[in-house]
Amino acid sequence: MKILIIEDELDLLQEIKEFLEKEGFVCETAQDYLSADEKIWIYHYDIAIVDITLPGGSGLQLIKKLKQIHPDTGILIVSAKNSLDDKLTGLDIGADDYITKPFHLAELNSRIKSVLRRRKFEGAPEIIFNEIIIQPEDGSVKVNNTNLILTKKEYELLIFFIANKNRLLTKESIAEHLWGDNIDLADNFDFIYTHINNLRKKIFRCGGNDYIQNVYGMGYKFTDL
Amino acid sequence: MKLLNKINILYLLFSVGVLILLGITFYFVLSYIISEELDEKLLTIQKRVTAQIKNENQVPVIKPYIEVVEGAFMKQQTLFSDTIIENLQEKELEEFRQLTSIKEINGKTYKIITRESKMESHELFESIALIIFLAFIVLVFILFLANSRIAKSVWFPFYNNLKLVKNFSLNGLSPLRLKPTNIKEFNELNNVIFSLTEKVISDYKSVKQFSENASHEIQTPLTIISAKLESLINSNGLNTEQLEKVKSIYSSVHRLSKLNKSLLLLTKIENKQFRDVEEISIRKVIEEKLIEFQELISLGNLKLETFLDKDILVVISPLLANILINNLISNSINHNKEKGKIKIEIKERQLSISNSGDTILSNSGNIFKRFYKENSSSKSVGLGLAIVKKICDTHNIKITYSFKENKHCFMLDL
């Protein structure tokens, strides 16, 4: 899978690149409008991560071009502006998703995977992790071929975990993934614990393994045993 | 006191003062003139009587006006005096002015007394005083009317401009250009107000711009910090002590970024950047939010009571409607007590959201202030209700907080 990261902040660019390379993606980078434009013309990418504010031009313009040249490339907008207008225009001209700074890398990863699933595995977007099989189309989950009944939040949690397996997910990033950032619950992460415990128990009851580890009270890790 | 009233009252007081002073002066001058006149008249009569005695050797007597007594008087003299004599016709006491003079005529000494009634001069005095007094009153009254008319028309531009200044609002974003007048001072004032409001508006704009830009610019470094920290957490080289530190940095950065997002949101609401308004069903928003919060409510063992038979339609940006209801409900969950209640009710145009609580807030007036926290140990950012208030203010929604029967209640008149 080839990803083009267009971001003008070098530090952030490198961090995203490093992170995604660990996830097994091949990454290329562009720091301004012109070099990004060039790369779009020459190469083909599966996913493009586009910052809207770029030196030399607007990310929105790049998205329009990208849509013309390679309509099958998945596009994820990254923006410091949390404005609905930008979001709507971005999605209107063909972006697949929109993420606002500051974001968690795990969140970015999960969004990339979900875009990839929608674009690349049309018809058979199964998520398989050992004995766990998820059908994102209808939201059904099977463990050892037994149907698992999960609440909406538990389901979202499981997808988030599998997208970021072997990686420590902080409580903050889990809370934001599940509840968005409007919710002001900074002083109470107990509800995450409850959700995770319920998910653990449900998988365990169907004969699945306990993959979720608590790490130093910081967060949780979904690891292949 | 109104300026015009003040002017009128001062004017009246001044006029009355002048009137009294003039009256007193006038009284003395007039009575002096009249008594001088009387004395002269008496002197003339006395001269005529003297002449008559001298030329015709005849002694005229008209009581009580002229009396002549012949006798041996010591020395010649002339003396004016006041006296009271009974009027023979009317049998009344009457005031007279009399001139007593002793004269030697044709070798004989006569005492000639001439008298004149003061009644007439009194009457004259009174009528003159009355005429002048009336003339004064009329003059003062006319001047007063004219003065207040003039004051009104002169101050008219002032009152007009005052009205404009009162209606001045920073959101209008145009400096106050007041109507020019033909009075120099007013025009100067207008110019001062114009440049002052221009300055205020440009400062206000740049402050707004600054806070928005600052919040935006902070987002990117925050993303970098939190991304680096996440990768640090995921690298295996850290010992427990180092991880503890990284963890505390990470949660602080997280708090900071939440704070920044909330401030940015507040600025945007203030700057009225949410223009995509539609007619929103409040009931629908509440129902959606309750599904989202369902698990949190059951986690806190809270009992939810809803009375949503009616609906309220509000023209508002969907995002703001969402945030408004979101913050109110999450507030009622966060500040509830164990096994407490949440009650959400729609009545006519009124939405009330209440939750159980044990004690009344010590500073309920501050509840909507930025960064106000009833409990300082709370880790919440303290902007949720400030955002609610700001949304209400910009949409003319009245919001009130009350504590009744162990319930914290927020009422919105939508």
pLDDT tens track for A166-199 = 888 888 888 888 877 655 554 557 778 888 888 9
pLDDT > 70 fraction of chain A, expressed in percent and rounded: 91
B70-79 average pLDDT score? 76
| pLDDT band at B282; cut points 50, 70, 90 | very high
**pLDDT for B230:** 85
DSSP B178: P
A170/B216 Cβ within 8 A: no
**Among B385, B326, B391, which residue's Cα sits nearest to residue B361?**
B385
B101 and B43 part of one domain: yes
Q: B220 vs A181: CB contact, 8 Å cut-off?
A: no
Average pLDDT over residues B378-399: 85
Same domain, B296 and B216: no
In a domain, B180, yes or no: no
Amino acid identity, residue B209? Q
Mean pLDDT of B359-382: 75
Q: Give chain B's largest Cα–Cα span.
A: 157
**Mean local confidence (pLDDT), B232-256:** 85
Average pLDDT over residues A205-219: 84
Domain boundaries defined on chain A: 2-120, 127-222
* pLDDT, tens digit, 9 for 90 and up, residues B105-122: 888 888 888 888 888 888
Let me know if residue B167 belongs to a domain.
Answer: no
pLDDT given for residue B216 in this prediction: 78
Contacts of A100 in chain B (CB under 8 A): 219
> Confidence band (pLDDT; 50, 70, 90) for B378?
low
Q: Do residues B305 and B366 share a domain?
A: yes
Average pLDDT over residues A48-70: 90
Checking if the pLDDT of B87 tops 80, the result is no
Q: For the stretch B56-67, what's the b/e string if a residue is b when 16 or more beta carbons lie within 10 angstroms of its beta carbon?
A: eeebeeeebbbb
Q: Which of A81, A143, A76 is nearest to A105 (CA)?
A: A76
CB of B384 closer than 8 Å to CB of B327 = yes
Residue A48 Cα, gap to closest chain B Cα (Å)? 19
**Are B335 and B375 in the same domain?**
yes
Is the Cβ pair A105, B230 closer than 8 Å?
A: yes
Q: Which domain holds residue B202?
A: 185-270
Chain A closest CA to B180's CA: distance in Å? 43
Report if residue B176 sits inside a domain: no
Q: What residues in A contact B276, CB-CB < 8 Å?
A: 84-85
For chain B, percent of residues with pLDDT exceeding 90? 13
Number of domains in chain B: 3
Residue B411: the pLDDT is 92
Q: Stretch A41-54: mean pLDDT, rounded? A: 90
Could you tell me if B262 and B205 lie in one domain?
yes
Q: Do B228 and A19 touch (CB under 8 A)?
A: no
A99 to chain B, any CB pair closer than 8 A? The answer is no
**Strand, helix or coil for residue B240:** helix
> Quick one: fold of A2-120?
Rossmann fold (3.40.50)
Beta-carbon-side half-sphere exposure of residue B276 (alpha carbons within 13 Å): 9
CA torsion A209-A212-A216-A218 (nearest 10°) is: 180
In a domain, B383, yes or no: yes
> Which one of A81, A103, A186 has the shortest CB-CB distance to B380?
A186
Query: Are the beta carbons of A101 and B243 separated by less than 8 Å?
Result: no
B362 versus A84: the higher-pLDDT residue is: B362
- For position A181, what pLDDT does the model report? 63
pLDDT band, very low/low/confident/very high, at A121 (cuts 50, 70, 90): low
Residues B136 and B212 in one domain: no
CATH 1.10.3720.10 assigned to A127-222? no
pLDDT band at B379 (very low <50, low <70, confident <90, very high): low
- Residue B73 placed within a domain: yes
Report DSSP letters for B332-383, one per residue: HHHT--TT-EEEEEEETTEEEEEEE-SS--TTGGGTTSTT--SSTT--S-S-
| CATH number assigned to the domain comprising residue B201 | 1.10.287
**Contact criterion met (CB below 8 Å) for B281 and B313:** yes
A-chain residues near B258 (CB < 8 A): 181, 184, 186
Q: Is the ipTM of this complex over 0.90?
A: no
- pLDDT at residue number A124: 57
Percent of the residues in chain A that have a pLDDT greater than 90, as a whole number: 23
* Nearest CA-CA distance, residue A68 and chain B, Å: 29
Q: State which of B235, B270, B305 marks the end of a domain.
A: B270
User: B231 vs A19: CB contact, 8 Å cut-off?
Assistant: yes
Query: From residue A222, how far is each of A165, A185, A215, B238 by CA, in Å?
Result: 5, 24, 10, 19
Q: What is the mean pLDDT of residues A5-12?
A: 91
Last residue of a domain, one of B141, B176, B196: B141
Q: Which of B211, B238, B270 represents a domain boundary (last residue)?
A: B270
Contacts of A192 (CB under 8 A, 6+ apart): A171, A174, A175, A178
User: What is the 3 state secondary structure string of chain A?
Assistant: CEEEEECCCHHHHHHHHHHHHHCCCEEEEECCHHHHHHHHHHCCCCEEEEECEECCEEHHHHHHHHHHHCCCCEEEEEECCCCHHHHHHHHHCCCCEEEECCCCHHHHHHHHHHHHHHHHCCCCCCEEECCEEEECCCCEEEECCEEECCCHHHHHHHHHHHHCCCCEEEHHHHHHHHHCCCCCCCCCCHHHHHHHHHHHHHHHHCCCCCCEEEECCCEEEECCC
Query: Quick one: B258 and B318 in the same domain?
Result: no
Do residues A127 and A117 touch, judged by C-beta distance below 8 A?
A: yes
Residue A201 neighbours by CB under 8 Å, 6+ apart: none
Per-residue pLDDT, B372: 79
Q: Specify which residues A48 forms β-bridges with.
A: A4, A75
